[in-house]
Every structure is written in structure tokens, then in C-alpha cells.
């Protein structure tokens, strides 16, 4: 006994909706991870922007492990971004 066509269409609609929501959730998580890495780099190297920094020996020990974060931070310094525009762009178009 097969399902009616309208029931199958509703099932496919909700499956597609689930895939779209998963994709959006992944994009938001990637954006949040990027921002958390930026915050961590600022916490370690806050002296560049006038914030209190951790002791120098801790910063120097973590410096080799944070090459990607330092490069990212320098890239962000070179090109000013509007944080609100980045958040809105991850939410997608209306």
C-alpha cells in the first residue's frame, strides 16, 4: 500500500527543510568558531590594542601555536570589516 502523493510531498518538504537548517547551523558554527579564535587571539595579544595582556612568558609560549590566529588578526587589521554586516551576511538574504 503506497502513501498518497500529498503525504509524500509533505514528507519531502520537511526533509528538504531539515537539510537547509543543517547547512545554516553549520555556517553559524563556523562563524562562531572564527570569532572565538579572534577573541582568544585578542586576549593573548591584547597589548596591541591597549588591553591588559597575560604575562609575557605565557604569550611567548603560545605564539608558535597561534600562527594562523596571528595571520588572521593581521588580515583583519589591514581590512576593516563591519562586524554587524558579517553577522547579517551569515544569516542569509530575506
In this predicted structure, what is the pLDDT of residue 66? 79
Q: What's the rounded Cα separation, in Å, for the pair 90 and 77?
A: 21
CA distances from 70 to 1, 10, 36 (A): 62, 49, 13
| Structure confidence by residue, pLDDT tens digits, 30-86 | 888 888 887 887 777 776 667 777 777 777 787 788 787 777 777 766 555 566 666
pTM of the model: 0.49
Residues 9, 2 contacting (CB under 8 angstroms): no
Amino acid at each position: 500500500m503506497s502513501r498518497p502523493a500529498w503525504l509524500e510531498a509533505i514528507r519531502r518538504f520537511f526533509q528538504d527543510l531539515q537539510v537547509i537548517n543543517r547547512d545554516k547551523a553549520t555556517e553559524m558554527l563556523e562563524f562562531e568558531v572564527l570569532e572565538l579564535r579572534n577573541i582568544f587571539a585578542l586576549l593573548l595579544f591584547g597589548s596591541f590594542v591597549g588591553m591588559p595582556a597575560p604575562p609575557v612568558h605565557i604569550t611567548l609560549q603560545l605564539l608558535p601555536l597561534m600562527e594562523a590566529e596571528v595571520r588572521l588578526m593581521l588580515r583583519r587589521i589591514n581590512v576593516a570589516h563591519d562586524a554587524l554586516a558579517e553577522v547579517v551576511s551569515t544569516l542569509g538574504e530575506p
